């Protein structure tokens, strides 16, 4: 791919809300939907216009970010995680606070021969590692 040939940093970030099922179970799917909308807007507001933010399904989002070196990608992931934490979602008379976990994969780190599926799988693996370590953190593989 172009990014490898020209050594342009390209990262996929997987972001998953911690404990999201409890929101749907306790306050209903409307509250869950409103939460997802607010998270999507918050993520979009904290990335550059050229970065891609997409909802994968459920409470999982993916971001495609290029041009940010590995030395700075953890900082971006932390800022995104903190941006989600600043959201206060109203559910009836209660206010819900959120946290999330972020898994990051770097195309340059994975190297030559990495196809899109392998990059996505690496981000997913990093996300599971972040969740296994207690969540509310970012992990770069």
Residue 5 has pLDDT above 70, yes or no: no
Q: What backbone torsions phi and psi does residue 83 show, to the nearest 5 degrees? A: -65, -40
Averaged pLDDT of the chain: 91
CATH classification for the domain delimited by 2-140, as one of 1.10.3450.40, 3.40.50.300, 3.30.70.270, 1.10.1520.10: 3.30.70.270
Q: Which two tokens stand for residue 37?
A: 């909308």
> What is residue 1's predicted lDDT score, i.e. its pLDDT?
60
Mean pLDDT of 40-60: 95
Span 20-37, pLDDT tens digits: 999 999 999 988 999 999
Mean pLDDT of 107-130: 91
- Give the start-to-end residue ranges of the domains of the chain: 2-140
Residue 134's SS3 state is: coil
**Surface-to-core class of residue 135, CB atoms within 10 Å of its CB (0-12 exposed, 13-18 middle, 19+ buried):** middle
Specify the pTM: 0.91
Give CA separation, 87 vs 43, 98, 100, 107, in Å: 11, 7, 11, 31
> Of 51, 59, 115, 124, which one is the catalytic site residue?
59
Give CA separation, 69 vs 14, 16, 62, 75, in Å: 17, 23, 18, 10
> What is residue 8's predicted lDDT score, i.e. its pLDDT?
78
> What is the side-by-side order of every strand in the sheet holding 52-57?
52-57, 60-66, 10-17, 100-106, 138-140
Residue 59 designated active-site: yes
Helices of type H across 46-94: 70-85
């Amino acid at each position: 791919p172009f990014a490898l040939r020209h050594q342009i940093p390209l990262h996929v970030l997987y972001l998953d809300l911690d404990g999201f099922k409890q929101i749907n179970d306790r306050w209903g799917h409307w509250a869950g939907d409103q939460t997802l909308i607010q998270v999507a807007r918050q993520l979009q507001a904290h990335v550059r216009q050229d970065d891609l933010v997409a909802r994968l399904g459920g409470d999982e989002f993916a971001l495609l970010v290029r041009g940010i070196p590995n030395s700075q990608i953890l900082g971006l992931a932390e800022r995104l995680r903190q941006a989600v934490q600043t959201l206060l979602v109203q559910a009836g008379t209660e206010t819900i606070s959120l946290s999330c976990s972020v898994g990051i994969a770097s195309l340059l780190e994975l190297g030559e021969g990495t196809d899109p599926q392998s990059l996505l799988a690496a981000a997913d693996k990093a996300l599971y590692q972040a969740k296994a370590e207690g969540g509310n953190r970012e992990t770069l593989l």
